[in-house]
Amino acid sequence: MSVEPQTTAAAMSAVDYDDAIVKKFIFATLLFGVVGMLVGVILALQLAWWPANLGLEWTTFGRLRPLHTNAVIFAFTGNFIFAGVYYSIQRLLKTRLFNDVLSNIHFWGWQLIIVSAAVSLPMGWTQGKEYAELIWPIDLSIAVIWVVFAINFFGTIAVRKVKHLYVAIWFYMSMVITIAVLHIFNNLSMPATILRSYPIYAGMTDALVQWWYGHNAVGFLLTTPILGLMYYFLPKSVERPVFSYRLSIIHFWALIFLYIWAGPHHLLYSALPDWSQTLGMIFSVMLIAPSWGGMLNGLLTLRGAWDRLRTDPIVKFWVVAVTFYGMSTFEGPMMAIRAVNSLSHYTDWTIGHVHSGALGWVGMAAFAMIYWLVPRLWKTTIHSPAAVTLHFWIATIGIVLYVVAMWSSGITQGLMWRAIDDAGQLQYPIFMDTVLELMPFYAIRLIGGTMYLTGMLMACWNILMTVRGAPASAAAARPATAK
């Protein structure tokens, strides 16, 4: 099965692709990657050494933490996804993006939302819902800009020159639709002042809607669009067709069907009805199947090209990304089992799981895509291939240090909290006893995180040098012709 769908004769003629918008989203990804990860490193430092809170209300852990999560999820990952989606749908559909004005409103609107988040969160203006902290006026702007994106996306599909919709586009579509639904329903609230609003849901219903949103934000922002990008950019990078197109279709439908029901695994042992918790647990465990189908489809695309793993750093990034996808989608279902969750919940094990997905899967896929795209967009070669390889190793070792430290810390924490002495009393009733035990792990996480950030900075340097050294004709974004 071919990597891309067959094209008609008309479609084969040169198309004036809009690559300027892709370039803008790449720059924004790099900028906000640095900001978001720098804040992550500051948080890691604060947990290892509390004076780093600086005694200022704006820089306390509680305010910087949502700044980190919003920056890495919506700014770094969001911009990376938009860059990849806009580049690939034009090629897959052999047409220019639907409307240049909409593309630019999407870009600038999204960056404005990010800047508002960067101001409002340290000020402490928040709705208090994880990953949905932003106050209602910003939420409204997100809804508007997302609709602009959706019109541009579906408009491009409508004016396509190729009938078949390659599987990557199905993955993107699931993101465009689901994120809109999740965002709108989770943020339905009654504004009281410009900074404050009250959710229309109460109590457990509010919690359930919030984690239906929270889990599917992971599913439809940190997972499905990136799988779509994997199905486009991984075969391109290894110059091989995707291992099984049929498997990719099964992967898609099974994944989106199962994901949407798994949210209650965030509310195990809560007041949520038991049947609903069990439903969440069962759907989470079933998720292993499509997730691993996707992982194998990615890895097996390399069959016959494994030798490139030794020489091509982009292939290295992909292999680590897909492997971490497999690891975190095995770990997640395990953590969704009630008995395991009773140990892992509230502990650093969750943080380890999050970052094996975030740094391993999301981050490494982003770097693989960007290193492949930049030389093509600017019609040049990468400034320093050696620095790409070095980045790969620094980042990979950084992830291992981060994740292993958090697993060790989480399991230590969980076991200490539940330890009972001979008299049936809690063995460690003083919370601080457990915290002190975790300090070495926090130091190791800080080292791992700093390494990962260093890799990110190296990528910025390498890409800026590549762009600066590009031929002048390529620096002007248009016209880029079909290939």
Site residues for ligand HEM per CB under 6 A? 37, 40-41, 43-44, 47, 65, 68-69, 72-73, 77, 130, 218, 222-223, 262, 265-266, 284, 287, 291, 328-329, 332-333, 335-336, 341, 344-345, 350-351, 353-355, 357-359, 361-363, 449, 452-453
- Whichever of 152 and 248 has its CB closer to ligand HEM, that residue is 248
Q: Residue 133 has which token pair?
A: 């902290």
Question: Which residues make Cβ contacts (< 8 Å) with residue 386, sequence separation at least 6?
Answer: none
Helix axes 78-93, 136-158, angle to 10 degrees: 10
- Whichever of 15 and 75 has its CB closer to ligand HEM, that residue is 75
Contact 334, 265 (CB under 8 A): no
> Nearest 5°: CA angle at 446, between 444 and 449?
110
Contact 481, 16 (CB under 8 A): yes
**In the bound complex, what is the minimum distance in angstroms from residue 341's beta carbon to ligand HEM?**
5
- Whichever of 77 and 297 has its CB closer to ligand HEM, that residue is 77
Of 214, 217, 325, 334, nearest to 285 (Cα)?
Answer: 334
- Whichever of 287 and 480 has its CB closer to ligand HEM, that residue is 287
CA–CA distances in Å: residue 436 to residues 48, 353, 428, 429, 431 = 10, 22, 12, 13, 9
CA–CA distances in Å: residue 127 to residues 199, 223, 266, 271, 301 = 9, 25, 19, 22, 44
**In the bound complex, what is the minimum distance in angstroms from residue 171's beta carbon to ligand HEM?**
14
Distance in angstroms (rounded) separating the CA atoms of residues 307 and 326:
22
b or e along 220-249 (b: 16 or more beta carbons within 10 Å of the residue's beta carbon)?
A: bbbbbbbbbbbbbbbbbbbebebbbbebbe
CB nearest ligand HEM: which residue? 332
- Whichever of 95 and 356 has its CB closer to ligand HEM, that residue is 356
Question: Which residues make Cβ contacts (< 8 Å) with residue 383, sequence separation at least 6?
Answer: 462, 463, 465, 466, 469
**In the bound complex, what is the minimum distance in angstroms from residue 350's beta carbon to ligand HEM?**
5
User: To which residue do tokens 């009281």 refer?
Assistant: 192
479 preceded by a cis bond (ω within 30 of 0)? yes
**In the bound complex, what is the minimum distance in angstroms from residue 283's beta carbon to ligand HEM?**
8
Q: Residue 385 has which token pair?
A: 């291939």
- Whichever of 89 and 222 has its CB closer to ligand HEM, that residue is 222
- Whichever of 224 and 462 has its CB closer to ligand HEM, that residue is 224
**In the bound complex, what is the minimum distance in angstroms from residue 333's beta carbon to ligand HEM?**
4
**In the bound complex, what is the minimum distance in angstroms from residue 12's beta carbon to ligand HEM?**
37
Distance in angstroms (rounded) separating the CA atoms of residues 466 and 469:
5
Q: Which residues pair with 37 in a beta bridge?
A: none
- Whichever of 28 and 72 has its CB closer to ligand HEM, that residue is 72
**In the bound complex, what is the minimum distance in angstroms from residue 443's beta carbon to ligand HEM?**
12
- Whichever of 59 and 350 has its CB closer to ligand HEM, that residue is 350
**In the bound complex, what is the minimum distance in angstroms from residue 405's beta carbon to ligand HEM?**
11
**In the bound complex, what is the minimum distance in angstroms from residue 385's beta carbon to ligand HEM?**
23
Question: Which residues make Cβ contacts (< 8 Å) with residue 378, sequence separation at least 6?
Answer: 466, 467, 470, 474, 475
**In the bound complex, what is the minimum distance in angstroms from residue 452's beta carbon to ligand HEM?**
4
- Whichever of 176 and 362 has its CB closer to ligand HEM, that residue is 362
